[in-house]
Structure 1
Amino acid sequence: MFQTYLFPISYAFMAFPVAALFFTLPLLIVQYRRHGYINKIRALVLYLLLLYLLNAFFLVLLPLPDSRHNAAPAGSMLQFVPLQFIQDILHNTPITRSDPSSYLNVLTGADFLLAAFNVLLTVPFGMFLGYYFRTRWVVCIILSFALSLLFEITQITGIYGFFDHPYRIFDVDDMITNTLGGMIGFKLSLWISGLLPRIEKLDSQEDLSAKRVTYTRRALAFLLDSILLLAVTILLNLLSLSISLWAVSMVYFLSIPLLTGGRTFGKWVVRIRLRSEDGGPARPWGVWARYGLLYGVLGGMNSLMPDSSFFVSIGTALAALVKIVILLADLAFFIHLVLRLIKRDRPLIYEELSRTRNVISWPERHQAAASVTGGSTTNNE
């Protein structure tokens, strides 16, 4: 029986890296916007929650039928009698009233083990709700029941119509035992909270002024800006306005930060902004120098690479020279970036020349809350 459970668990662990890849982007965005930085303990708990949910769903759904066109079930797939599992345990377990030792057979019977599995399945869920999300017990009951209901609906619908017929029974007892497991986990979380870091106090001693804006955070802002700019460029071209992505990017980066106090859409999402080297607002010449070098010069050179007509117009020899110059510039910037990743206290070259820096942009109401709990109220990271 335990071998049956190991099969879906192994698949859940194999699927976890892929799920974590898709989970990381929203995790970073939420953590940057809500807390201003990434706390390792908080991130670890959330990844463990993801791993748990994968295991739970795989345990509920696997093994799958051999074909999408599975056979119709012979009997009813609905069991609406509450606590029917108790009667099944008593009926199917060999017990002799005059022999107390036979009562132990209950613990090894398939019906009891199945009920125990359904309880254990949601114990971790209740622990996450109690420890990380700090929910009340009523909320834990509701969410544990909702999770179990989701399991049952997914099964009875054949994974929402993917299979022709259901391949698992919709059992009300599963919802009862799953909800019980959630409450047991909730109680356990209250007992072990004293042994673990308090989630609500993780930020109380964090000084944001001592934190720098990481390259991960900057890369995420760049990714979000790139998605926005690509969508705008496609829309403009659909409207018969033949404008290149490079031109849209130049207008965007040379104007938007000046109108928004040093923020672009991506920077706004991850709560960072441009400031001058002296800590004041970014000056126009600094913004233009920064993005002119990064997107105007380096980005402009790379925007020529897909343009075959440009290289044809300047001749073969000159075209080869231009391509070599562009590749060398890209290589030089890549090496420079790697060196700055190693020596993180040094700014990138376009930051040095423009005298601008990325700093954390934290709302005043959050700063006030941080000061109450002992955190920093400064704008830097």
Structure 2
Amino acid sequence: MVYVSNIITAAIAFPFVAIILTVPLLVYHYHRYGSLTILRSVILYSFMFYLVAAYCLIILPLPPRSVVAHLTTPRYNLVPFTFVREFINSTHFVWTEPSSYLATLKQAATIQPLFNIFLTVPFGIYLRYFFKTSFKQTLLLSFTLSLFFELTQLSGLYGIYPRPYRLFDVDDLLLNISGGLLGFYLQPLVTFFLPTRESLDQAAYARGQKVGYFRRLLALAVDYCVLGIITFAIAVIWRLLKLPTIHSEMLQYCLATGAYFLMLPVFWRGKTPGQSLL
């Protein structure tokens, strides 16, 4: 039930993360491919949701600070394969007795290592399928993700807590990396019915040949964001130079707009920076 509640929390937080990342995502794909297809959007946003869910599973539930301040439990474990010894010592597994299998699966010494493996299996699948990473790249990125999770725990959630409320465990690093590599090898089976990354790119390039209204609107939004920065810079310079203040705002706006829409396109082959970017 704890895992389910953490995923629900991730589902609540995900729309805010998606809103923040949508514009950079659109800018990148319009610039690179000319369009963002529906299937590519589904894959990318599902990858974002996976990362948010994995993060929530790692840090939640959050205990009270007063409780954490009085903890005396170890802060870290640097002895590899401790989970193997704990499994042997605390479970009732007997490989010759099938009746012990189910009971063993329900014990914490089994659930925790399996959780750490399956946590990063999707990560390996996404990396190989969509991002076309090699085995070595998947290994490095799985290690990086796992290390980020472990350092988040070791830092007491970036200093919010006076000490770690969860263990920094080298076994978690090993198990997370194993999960990422397992996902790397499972990817051909999991994505068998999905189109290849190459076909996704071809569809995006074909669709990007036609510049749609949304793409134009996004380019205009980028232009006005940059124009706002230029206008602010001109206003600061205007004050520093102590130029006349009569109708200064109108003059500054006309100067900024003229420079942006008339002069800058000369350097971008007849396009504004927003049009050139998208």
Task: Specify every segment of 5 or more residues in structure 1 that has no aligned partner in the other structure, as ranges.
Answer: 271-381
Shift of 1:160: 1.5
For normalisation by structure 1, the TM-score amounts to 0.65
CA distance in 1 between partners of 2:157 and 2:265 (Å) = 47
TM-score, length of structure 2 as denominator length: 0.88
> Matched residues in 1 for 2:169 and 2:208: separation?
54
Alignment equivalent of 1:173, drawn from 171, 174, 191: 171
Question: Structure 1 residues 199, 229: CA separation in 2 closer, same or farther (over 3 Å shift)?
Answer: same
Q: Which segment drifts farther, 70-79 or 172-181?
A: 70-79
Task: Quote the Cα distance in structure 1 between the aligned partners of 2:218 and 2:12.
Answer: 26
Following the alignment from structure 1 to structure 2, what is the Cα–Cα distance between the partners of residues 119 and 210? 39
Give the AA of the match of 1:268.
Answer: S
Residues 89, 109 of structure 1: 8 Å contact kept: no
Q: Quote the Cα distance in structure 2 between the aligned partners of 1:176 and 1:189.
A: 20
Deviations 1:2-53 (A, max 9, x none): x010111101001111111111111111101111211222221111110000
**Distance (Å, rounded) in 2 between the aligned partners of 1:93 and 1:181:** 22
Specify the structure having the higher radius of gyration (Cα). 1
Change (3 A) 1:257 1:176: same
How far is the alpha carbon of 1:205 from its aligned partner? Answer: 5.5
Secondary structure, counterpart of 1:161 in structure 2: coil
Q: Which residue of 1 aligns with 2:64?
A: 66
Aligned alpha-carbon RMSD (Å): 2.2
Per-residue CA deviations over 1:73-115 (Å, capped at 9, x if unaligned) read 3032111111111111111113568855335432221110111
CA distance 1:269–1:15, shift in 2 (3 Å): same
Q: Is 1:244 equivalent to 2:242 in the alignment?
A: no
TM-superposition CA deviations, 1:262-300 (whole Å, max 9, x none): 211111111xxxxxxxxxxxxxxxxxxxxxxxxxxxxxx
The answer for the alignment partner of 2:113 in structure 1 is 115
Alignment correspondent of 1:269: 277
Deviating beyond 6 angstroms after TM superposition, the runs of 4 or more aligned structure 1 residues are none
User: Do the aligned partners of residues 230 and 83 (structure 1) sit closer, same or farther apart at CA in structure 2, a change above 3 Å counting?
Assistant: same
Question: Which residue of structure 1 aligns with residue 81 of structure 2?
Answer: 83
- Larger mean CA deviation between 78-87 and 60-69 belongs to 60-69
Residue identity opposite 2:256 in structure 1? V
Structure 1 residues 96 and 30, CA, compared in 2 at 3 Å: closer, same or farther? closer
Q: 1 or 2 for the larger relative contact order (CA 8 Å, sep ≥6)? A: 2
> CA-to-partner distance for each residue in 1:331-371, whole Å, 9 max, x for gaps?
xxxxxxxxxxxxxxxxxxxxxxxxxxxxxxxxxxxxxxxxx
Residues 223-267 of structure 1: CA distance to partner in whole angstroms, max 9, x if unpaired? Answer: 221121111111121122544334421342133335533211111
> C-alpha separation between the residues in 1 aligned to 2:190 and 2:101?
33
2:116, 2:175 within 8 Å by CA — same for their partners in 1?
Answer: yes
Aligned residue pairs, count: 268
Contact 2:34 2:207 (8 Å CA) reproduced: no
Distance in 1 of aligned mates of 2:267 and 2:73: 67
Greater shift, 111-120 or 220-229, is seen at 220-229
The answer for unaligned runs of 5 or more in structure 2 is: none
How far apart are the structure 1 equivalents of 2:264 and 2:156? 50
